[in-house]
Chain A
């Protein structure tokens, strides 16, 4: 950026700073109302005995719900599942997305169409995709995957029950790979051509060019992709609800789905609130490196 707006003057009067702030306030207030207020209410709920199946027995519970949370093995399992799903699908999407971005970067006949086809899975309604995959792709007797494993001589797998986590990772990666590809493609297009040219003149092999020039240049783009993907994948819900219902034996229950089960199937609002809060705190703890990275990017930008 050559010029950003004039910086806020140091000696800004009160009136001036309010006129600057005014346009921001509506958005800020709405965001606070919709995200922070429910969060504070969750803290209050989590301290109560509150199960709709025991009406009239709402009472203050202190830290009971938390004690139950920390001793519930399914809760810990669901945290593990969240990590496996998020990391697995993020890594898979980024690796495939990077390969595709490198392939689709250079001009060839029909490249525009190829790119458009590749991006399409990202826009297909996830609920629709999940239902279609369920019967047409994962089904053990007439799904596409069964036919493929036959074709290469592998035994048939009942994907959704025997390889349930892999199946969820597969469909999630299918959805997010195009997004990773788009972002990385944009990164590759901003690659300084002269550096690659210099590497070529020096007789660098294709792999050396990739490792020495492309990857370092792409680093911030890779980091941003990882951040955006994991932010979304950590919230995975529809695919789990529609494909495996969290099973078998909670094997694909992630934290979002477990809170949903506790709140809207067992109607234990107090306990579900505690689950949500502990999950939130742990997510923040795990996401802190990511957040720091993001603020690092912004500070860099500010320095320019």
Chain B
């Protein structure tokens, strides 16, 4: 997935749809003076430093990692990484991948038609419907967890991958609708009119013209949904125990405590690497998707 999406994310700059947010980028006085550049680098490095520190510690022996003065020079060890993959790691990782991929695919299958009904061929009071979807994101998850738990128990879904897929669906759907709707609105009007023709042509026009145009946006929506699903903890901890996703695998290391800092660092690195890479790939279109639904 990683390999195939990166070339698709690039061409977005040339597409007419992408020009709207970018037209003001005249590069006249846009080069930073050196103090700004230094401060910019410094700020970024400070934000990144805990991640770098995590990477560093994962290659230290536990003795080096427990040194009261951070050791920057040490003899690297790879002993912690093989340890990560024991204790059922692959079962949790497989679950995490299944949950993220399946819930994201279903989210997209539901969100694309919904976004179409909000942007291309709008229902009456489309604004209100959109508003409803977003408002569900503001409800504290805690207010609904008990009925969810009890219904899942009665259906025999507790401690299954299925229950997490279903809950992640509810969690990501509003966001996906919001983002895809914004991408649809960036598509030029003539193209949308073609897609909104009456008759059997509507579906085909959508599939063969409109969707390919917003493909980079769809990828970034999918990637963002995957990231949120991958990192989700509240439902995982409340609805599952042994058959669960990576955050619960990670949680096992809570009992390890201070003496296993390097081991924790290695696990934390391994479980974070996939989403960090996906995040780097989709960072640019992610902002466009979030922003242009609301502010222009």
What is the CA–CA distance of A38 and B201 in the complex, to the nearest angstrom? 40
Q: Are B294 and A298 in contact (CB under 8 A)?
A: yes
The minimal Cβ–Cβ distance linking A222 to chain B, given in whole angstroms, is 10
B 110-138 to A, binary, CB cutoff 8 A, 1 in contact else 0: 11011011111111100101111111111
Contact indicator A147/B70 (Cβ below 8 Å): yes
**Selected contact of A183 from candidates B250, B271, B291, CB within 8 Å:** B291
Within 8 A of A (CB), among B205-238: 227, 230-231, 233-234, 237-238
B residues less than 8 Å from A34 (CB atoms): 166-167, 169-170
The contact of B196 among A5, A39, A137, A283, by CB within 8 Å, is A5
When distances are taken between beta carbons in the complex, the residues of chain B under 8 Å from A24 are: 113-114, 117-118, 123, 129
Q: Which residue of B131, B142, B250 is within 8 Å of A295 (Cβ)?
A: B131
Closest to A18 in B: B123
Smallest CB–CB gap between B188 and chain A, Å? 7
Q: Bin chain A's interface residue count.
A: 35 or more
| A294-B136 contact in complex given A135-B264, A147-B70, C-beta closer than 8 Å | no
Kindly provide the distance from the CB of A82 to the nearest chain B CB, expressed in whole angstroms: 9
- Residue of chain B at shortest CB distance from A186: B287
Find out whether the CB atom of A108 lies under 8 angstroms from the CB atom of B40: yes
Which residues of B lie under 8 Å from residue A163 when comparing CB positions?
A: none
Which of B53, B131, B280 lies in contact with A298, CB distance below 8 A? B131
Within 8 A of B (CB), among A205-259: 220-221, 224, 228, 231, 234-235, 237-238, 241-242, 255-256, 258-259
Q: Return chain B residues, CB-CB under 8 Å to A224.
A: 291, 294-295
A259 to B140, CA, bound (A): 10
Question: Could you tell me which residues of chain A, from 245 to 304, have a CB within 8 Å of some CB in chain B?
Answer: 255-256, 258-260, 263-264, 269, 272-273, 275-277, 279-280, 283-284, 287, 290-291, 294-295, 297-299, 301-302, 304
B22 to chain A, nearest CB (A): 8
Partner of B257, one of A106, A135, A295: A135
7 contacts between A and B (CB under 8 A): A23-B114, A42-B143, A120-B47, A178-B47, A183-B290, A235-B141, A294-B294
User: Which residues of A approach B to under 8 Å, CB–CB?
Assistant: 1-8, 12, 17, 20-24, 26-28, 30-31, 34-39, 41-42, 45, 96, 99-100, 103-104, 106-111, 114-129, 131-133, 135-137, 139, 141-142, 144, 146-147, 174, 177-178, 182-183, 185-187, 189-193, 197, 200, 220-221, 224, 228, 231, 234-235, 237-238, 241-242, 255-256, 258-260, 263-264, 269, 272-273, 275-277, 279-280, 283-284, 287, 290-291, 294-295, 297-299, 301-302, 304
